[in-house]
A and B are shown apart, each in its own frame.
Chain A
Amino acid sequence: MAETSVFEVPGAMVLLRGDHEAIGEAAAHVAGLPMPETRQITGGAERALAWMSPDEILILAAEGAGPGMARALGEKLTGVHHLALDVSDMRVRLRVTGPYVREVLAKLSPADLAPGALPEGEFRRSRLGQVPAAFWVSGPDSFDVICFRSVAGYLRELLEHSAAAGPVGHF
């Protein structure tokens, strides 16, 4: 059975709430990336901009960049109703890699993980097992997953359990 691995990806996360029309330019400027469309993520492994909800986006960046980015957003958005916070420690980002990674996730999430339904660039907020999580394609045979910090241990164990049970052979 081919190996699936689950490991933590360190990095910063900045939460930005606001009307996308009003905050888009500032977010794109600070992140250095185009604003994502609905349910999309732009950027790559190092830095990304993810659509969280109609009034929330998430910036993923290099470790330690959170406070500076939150500050920069605050300055750029002076006078615009928004909320920008460094939440780097609030969530944990895991990377799951392996030949049947989609099935590892589909055992745990009601989201449609078929390649056609969840292609690269899609940012899916759903659940994995009993905890909320978001996930997206982070490379060939690779997904990145974010969850709240307090349940990262649970999720990691759950993903490893799901992978160890082997492929389903469906996707």
Chain B
Amino acid sequence: MSTRLPEGGRLLDRSQPLDFTFDGKRLHGLAGDTLASALLAEGQMLLGRSFKYHRPRGLVASGAEEPNALVGLGEGAFFEPNQRATVTELHDGLTAISQNRWPSLEADVGAVNSLLTRFLPAGFYYKTFLWPRAFWKHVYEPFIRASAGLGRPPKEPDGSTYEHFHAHADLVVIGGGVSGLATALAAAREGRQVLLMEQSAHWGGRAVVDAPEIDGMPAETWVKNAIEELGNAPNVRMRLRCMGAGLYDHGYLLAYERLTDHAPGTPGPRHRLWRIRAAETRLATGALERPLSFAGNDVPGVMLASAMRDYLVNWAISPGDRTVVVTNNDDAYRTALALHTAGLSVPVIVDARPEVTGALPKAARDAGIRVEPGRAIVKVEGGKRVTGVEIGLQRGEGGALERIACEAVAMSGGWSPAVHLWSHSGGKLTWDEAGAMFRPDAARPPLGDKGQPIASVVGAANGHLGTGAALADAGLPLEAREPEEQPLAPVWIMPEGAGPALKRKMFLDYQNDVKVSDVQLAAREGYESVEHAKRYTTLGMATDQGKLSNINGLAVLSGALNAAIPATGTTTFRPPYTPISMGSIAGAARGPLFQPIRQTPIHGWHAAHGAIWEPVGQWRRPYAYLQPGEDRHAAVTREVKAVRQSLGLLDASTLGKIIVKGPDAGRFLDMIYTGKPSTIPVGKCRYGLVCNENGFLIDDGVAARLSEDTWLCHTTTGGAESIHGHMEDWLQCEWWDWQVYTANVTEAWAQVAVVGPKAREVLETLGGMDVSKEALPFMGWAEGELAGIPARIFRISFSGELSYEVAVPAARGLELWETLVEAGAPHGVTPYGTEAMHVLRAEKGYVMIGEETDGTVIPQDLNLGWAISKKKDDYIGKRAQERSHMAGADRWRLVGLEAEDGSTLPEGAYILADGDNANGQRNTQGRVTSTYHSPTFGRGIAMALLHRGPERMGETVEVTNGAGGAIRARVCDTVLYDPQGERLNG
């Protein structure tokens, strides 16, 4: 059983006990503990169950690479699954629950999967669930979902807040171990602006645990001095608990700062996502120790040797009375010596190398520790906890020479540089034969916009594992006193000749339950590419991203393929380095700030008068105004009737308004529109269509000529920005020598449509402008002061009724609206929303961009040929519209539809044709584009695109009813209301 030793623990504050719970059990830790160390101190070695086989799992590592100890943290709105116990700083009242077990950690039903490992090999899902197809949805998936998966998703909205922060940096140093500190010191002394970050809560990295002597002082003292110097430098910024998460093209760097995870309840954001533009990034990200692949290497109690040393030195944890050390290198002897010094027993050091002669082994032997060269752990005994190991020959097939009882195993398979960020941004790796590791290839760095390197790597991350070598590599050559180390021996399978039974218990990827046998099977089945083998077996997927499993896995694959490791290559490391919270990605963009809601100057009035909203782009427009007791259908009916019978008001402020001015403005607009705006007289308006270069209709609206060289172009609400962009695109890229300026002044104006038979009367009561039939005829406009407000009045109509659109400076929009509401009261003035607007225009047969058009419709399809000038040589879209298929009659074209039973046809319904297509689907000959219940006619009305539609007036067609049946409808004219247009003049 693991326990806390009475002395030691360099990070502990023994005067500050902390209470926490694990699976509801009350436990005690100390200030300075991580959740992992506190659990070990309480003897809790079993922390979870594995993903696939539900094998009992305990801590393997002490840092970000931990694959097993994933827990759910917090409660309610602050619950978060899949958190690593090793990087979770303990705080008072912390609550943690284990994952992937049912009904409990100790008695897990899913563990039966473990007995079935022979039937759950690599590619099992692919092989088994191909057939029958229906079984996947109804049988396999529910079963897998119930028994697999990691943490449960939170049930409540996240109670914490998050933020982004943008920074621009000269030099960012990632990693606060001695290499990172040395790099930062050297750069700071040269006067560079440095941002230094460290993912954990402490500076110093491994050196403070392994304790070499640096520059004549203990590592801990050197680190303390370095922090002080950097802290006092005005050109250095330092961040703890801040992880370099991803390095991208051109030096874009994402860093993830955890601000209050260690102190919940502190005001302010929980996480901060740094979005950094770095001229140069130096990676001092250190190295990760590799496991060894022996049978039972996943039994709780088997740990990385360095992690065991961390727990002992930092947190005074005894992993158990007796620890067997197994290694292929000298570094692991440090763990044996540390355990021995702490008064714990190391029965044997099992070293796979045939000869062991280094300084550290000598120190171990001098301390009386038994060292066994050329040996291997054949298998680990124990289920939920290590009880002993069988030892045999590394060269052998697994015959046990000896059994040794122990409570823990410390393993070391060598070290792999943490090259993740280098690889994220495209840096290449090279295989270091002597160190048996991939290290960054300085000749092939990630490049910036000018082809310059954007990142470099220093220290252990660059393959310099010794302290002295790392410091020199970081640009601060200082004397370091540390024992000389002998080379490691690459060991990928232990023992070398192990048979299938042992290989099935040798875990390469703990998190994804991938074993040596799985990778070898993948190779036998033809998955020779490391990327294919990764996906087939799931090796190194998900949060691991190759941290523990990568090198061992691809070495086993290379062995199976009889290829050299560099020929097999490595899989791609993908950002983030370790998972970052979804909240940090969202930042402030949640709740009311999720996205900007554009509001007109009259928005507040609408809200106060029962408006229900329709999103139009980022605008919110009133869909209808509900009066007490009304549903939306009743409100729309009332609004439509009021407009037809008396007076309605529509907030049309969102309509796009683009000023086009210049000597070439007329010529330019003749190209933008299908018609000829250049011939509009000053004081008049004209309806126009805008097409793209493929001929398709993209916008429509009324253009008014303001003066000899100035036009005001109205666009649809959604088209303001895109049509302005379209105009600028053509002006800047194609006709750059034309003298035209444009300005999108949509938001400078509030615009109110005053609509209905009483429209003129109410404007006359306001006074100030002559709005008579003679002074302001249909499609005319005038400027003046209406009710004391500067105004432009346009005589245009989108309803078929007498209608004026009054534009006033936006700041006075509400004043105009309220004046109209008051003046219109005797006529029962009725504000109406977008739905009534739609019904009114559909009754009149006016088309709507986005309803009658969908990006594949040309004006001719909508019978709008009259709006296309025949006199012009060219306009955008003209040539496309002359292509044979566009110009032919064999197209779906606009008609009206009237259901025989008077009902309202379903939105988007298809018009059926005879027979089936090649896929066995019913043939179609058109579709409904707009459909409404018309209060004016007391029945459903619709517009539709129908094959050769206008030639088929009076015909009866069948329209899908959305339930497998059909509705019979008659083809009719689109203009149902006032076909002669008499009402437009009031």
A residues sitting closer than 8 Å to B (CB atoms) are 15, 17-18, 55, 81-83, 85-91, 103, 106-114, 117, 129-131, 148-151, 153-155, 157-158, 161-162, 165-166, 168, 170
Contact = CB atoms under 8 A, between A and B. Distances in A.
Contact of B659 (A85, A110, A117): A85
B598 interface: yes
Interface stretch (B114-122, B158-166, B338-346): B158-166
A89 B837 CA distance: 27
A26 to B, nearest CB: 15
A153 B272 CA distance: 24
B748 A87 contact: yes
Given A90-B745, A165-B161, A150 B619 contact: yes
Contacts of B103: none
Given A162-B588, A165-B161, A107 B166 contact: yes
Contacts of A161: 588, 593
Contacts of A86: 748
Contact of B809 (A89, A129, A150): A89
B164 A107 contact: yes
Interface in B581-638: 587-589, 592-593, 595-601, 618-619
A157 B593 contact: yes
B849 interface: no
B663 A107 contact: no
Interface residues of B, number: 43
A162 B163 contact: yes
A87 B741 contact: no
B21 to A, nearest CB: 30
A130 B237 CA distance: 28
Given A89-B811, A130-B595, A83 B743 contact: yes
B745 A85 contact: yes
A137 B811 CA distance: 26
Contacts of A106: 165-167
Contact of A83 (B161, B272, B741): B741
Contacts of A85: 659, 743, 745, 748
A89 B237 CA distance: 42
A103 B748 contact: no
A130 B745 contact: no
A103 B743 contact: no
A163 to B, nearest CB: 11
Interface of B: 161, 163-168, 237, 267-269, 272, 275, 277, 587-589, 592-593, 595-601, 618-619, 659, 661-663, 739, 741-743, 745, 747-749, 809-811
Contacts of B742: 83
4 shortest interchain CB distances as A-B pairs: A150-B598, A89-B810, A83-B741, A90-B748
B743 A15 contact: yes
B820 to A, nearest CB: 19
Contacts of A155: 596
Given A17-B741, A107-B588, A150-B747, A158 B165 contact: no
A88 B745 CA distance: 10
A150 B600 contact: yes
A165 B493 CA distance: 52
18 contacts: A17-B741, A83-B659, A83-B743, A85-B659, A87-B745, A88-B748, A129-B589, A130-B595, A150-B599, A150-B619, A151-B598, A154-B596, A158-B588, A158-B593, A165-B163, A165-B269, A166-B269, A170-B165
Given A150-B600, A165-B268, A166-B267, 20 more contacts: A85-B743, A89-B749, A107-B164, A107-B587, A107-B588, A109-B166, A112-B166, A114-B168, A129-B589, A130-B589, A149-B601, A149-B810, A150-B599, A150-B747, A154-B597, A161-B593, A162-B588, A166-B268, A170-B165, A170-B167
B718 to A, nearest CB: 14
Given A17-B741, A157-B593, A165-B269, A129 B747 contact: no
Contacts of A81: 662-663, 739, 741
A91 B748 CA distance: 8
Given A83-B659, A150-B747, A107 B163 contact: yes
A168 B596 contact: no
Nearest to A166: B268
B73 to A, nearest CB: 22
Contacts of A114: 168
B758 to A, nearest CB: 29
Contact of A151 (B161, B596, B663, B811): B596
B269 to A, nearest CB: 5
A151 B593 CA distance: 11
A165 to B, nearest CB: 5
Contacts of B619: 150
B747 A130 contact: no
Contact of A110 (B166, B588, B592, B618): B166
Contact of A90 (B163, B592, B598, B747): B747
Contacts of B163: 107, 162, 165
Contacts of B662: 81, 83
A5 B747 CA distance: 26
B741 A82 contact: yes
Nearest to B269: A165
B159 to A, nearest CB: 15
A51 B831 CA distance: 42
